[in-house]
Structure formats: structure tokens, C-alpha cells
Structure 1
């Protein structure tokens, strides 16, 4: 059996879409401007196809595609580097945007990438044979982290995520240095989505002041912190999108 499924998505411009995916290391396999705009791209075994539709509304897009990989961290760093080179920074909000990479509660390590037309790629690697959702943690700090990440990334409710983290940070709970760093980075991420740039600056500065006895297991958080710091506008109002290519 030689079947293979390749998804086809709308985009406003195949030129802009190609610019974006080229920055991520994709190669172009099909390019057509007449009679209808059409683009196909490939990176390894991942293939995506697009048709041009000027009426497409990225803000209303519900398009998604899951890509499995055996090298999620290497792919994340490649995409992160490509976006930084193309945009001058890693876009953390708006469109396009790149999430943090995280170990999920269902045995997958993954990140989310949204393209300029609102297509969300979920890119993950299995890290467990058990892909069932683990129970919500009962311990207070772990539960707060779990719920904040769930509400912010999976549901897009960044205000609810911010409230959970604010309660944790103000609770007087004895947080270890690594737990405080994680809480501050998650809260700064929520603030960036809400365009609360002074808050992002303050949270990032507080996170940088933490003395970490061992940062070897905090690479994901420290990398995200650096991306959030770079995303803060130098001056003036924030752009309504994450950037253009």
C-alpha cells in the first residue's frame, strides 16, 4: 500500500507563504500562478500544499496540521533560528508566532508554529509509550504550571493563565529558584500575548535576577525568556501581528 495524505490550505499570497516556509528550511516542489495560485513545500517527509485565496481571513483560521518528528528539539532550534534571521527576532505573539517547546502531559514533547495565514502546525515527538492525558497534578505549584500552560497555549485564554500565575506568585508559596523562574517566564509569555510590554520587561528583569544553582534543566525556560526579551518593542505601540517576511 502506498497511500500518503498531503493537506492543502488556503493562503492570501503564495509569494508571502513561500517566503515564510523558505525561512524555515522548506524546499519548493510546486509553483503555479495560473490559472490558480498554488504552492507546495517540503521539509524532510513533511509536505504542505497551499492555494491562493485573497479573501482568506487569518484571524478566523481554524486550520491545523500535526507533524511528528524524532528530533523535535533540533527542528525547534532550526525554526527558531530561521525566524530570527528573517524577522530579526523570534515572534512570540500575533501571526506568525512560535510557542515554547514543552513536555506535555500526554507523553509528547511539542511546540506550536502559526504561519502568517493562521495555519497552526503542532510539531511533536513521543517521549512516552503512554499517550493518555495524565491526571491534573494535585501539588499546588505543579497544578498552577499545568493549568496556565493549558489555558494559554491550548485554549488561547492568556488572561486566565495570567490570573493563575499571579495568584501563585503572590501566594507566599515557597518556590524554589527554578520554580520561580518557570512562573515568571510563563507569566511574561502571557503578558506578551496581552501586549503588556512594561510587565514583560519587569517580569523578565526579575527572572534574570534569580540565582540558579543549576540551570541545566531550564534550557527551555531560559530560551523562551530570551525570545520574550527580544520581542519587546523598543518604543511605541505594539504591532498587531508577530511580524512579516
Structure 2
């Protein structure tokens, strides 16, 4: 017997939670560089923030002792991966995996945000 009620539960929004050491720096990067907009914040000082752009949503959580993982923590699908790659380069972000066409049908690259969070970015070929 399967414990998962396949049709009983419907999932809604699922958003990535990114730990950041400096909320203002993270806000400035995601809003002023990548074009997200803040839709919610909580705490004084702010310890949690929701950012949105198009269908994308990011949740930022203040973690002053954050040590970044050595693997991708989020995956973003975009409609112009070359333009985002160029934007990341212009802003001096560390590119972990170079822009390339993958055998699984995506043109993709991986960058680190200012807190060292590795973000995998892709566009269908």
C-alpha cells in the first residue's frame, strides 16, 4: 500500500530559502542587479525577506554565521541565459561552471551570489 495520497494533496508555491550574512547587501544584489522586488520583510532588524520577479520567488533569511555549501542550492530557469551570464560577469560575480549547452537540453551556468550561495541558471535549448 502506498502512503502517499496521490490526488489528495495539491502543492502550491515552493520557494527557495537562501541564507545571507548581510540582508541589505543581499537585497541590493537581488533587487538592483537581478531586478527582483521586495514583497515582504519581517523583523527589526530584518531577518526574513521575500523577493519576487516574474514567476520567480526567493526567500532570504538572515544567518550571520552562514557558511556556503559547495553545491548548488537553487536552480533558476530564465528566458535569456546569455544575458544573465553577461550581467553576472559585469558585476564581478564568481562563475562556478561556465556557460555551455548541456546534453540534457539546457544552456546553463552556475554563479555565486554575494553570500557564496551557488545558483544554477538554465534555459531550454
- Is TM-score (shorter-chain normalized) higher than 0.5? yes
> C-alpha distance in 2, partners of 1:70/1:10?
26
Instruction: Output the CA distance in 2 between the equivalents of 1:63 and 1:55.
Output: 19
Cα distance between partner residues in 2 of 1:79 and 1:56: 22
Q: What root-mean-square deviation, in Å, do the aligned CA atoms of Structure 1 and Structure 2 show?
A: 2.4
Aligned to 2:57, what secondary structure does the other structure show? strand
Contact 1:26–1:43 under 8 Å retained in 2: yes
Match of 2:67 in 1: 57
TM-score, normalization by structure 1: 0.41
Structure 2 counterpart of 1:123, from 117, 121, 124: 121
Q: Which protein has greater RCO, CA pairs closer than 8 Å, 6+ apart?
A: 2
- Give the conservation status (yes or no) of the 8 Å contact 1:39–1:50: yes
Partner of 1:111: 109
Alignment of 1:129-140 (within 5 A): none
Pick the structure with greater CA Rg.
1
| Counterpart contact for 2:19–2:66, Cα < 8 Å | yes
Q: Distance in 1 between matches of 2:85 and 2:72?
A: 20
- Aligned equivalent of 1:41: 51
SS in 1 for 2:107: strand
| Uncovered stretches (5+) of structure 1, i.e. residues with no partner | 84-89, 92-96, 128-245
- Structure 2: distance between partners of 1:31 and 1:80: 29
The equivalent residue for 2:75 is 66
More helix by share: 1
The reply to whether residue 7 of structure 1 matches residue 4 of structure 2 is no
Deviation at 1:44, TM superposition (A): 2.0
Partners of 1:7 and 1:49 within 8 A in 2: yes
In 2, the alpha carbon distance for the partners of 1:63 and 1:11 equals 15
Q: 39, 43, 61: which is aligned to 1:29?
A: 39
Q: TM-score under structure 2 normalisation?
A: 0.74
Unpaired segments ≥5 residues, structure 2? 1-9
Q: C-alpha distance in 1, partners of 2:114/2:88?
A: 14
Deviation string, structure 1 residues 210-241 (Cα, Å, up to 9, x no partner): xxxxxxxxxxxxxxxxxxxxxxxxxxxxxxxx
The aligned residue for residue 27 of structure 2 is: 18
Is the 1:62–1:118 Cα contact (8 Å) retained in structure 2? no
Quickly say closer, same or farther: Cα 1:52–1:63, change in 2 above 3 A: farther
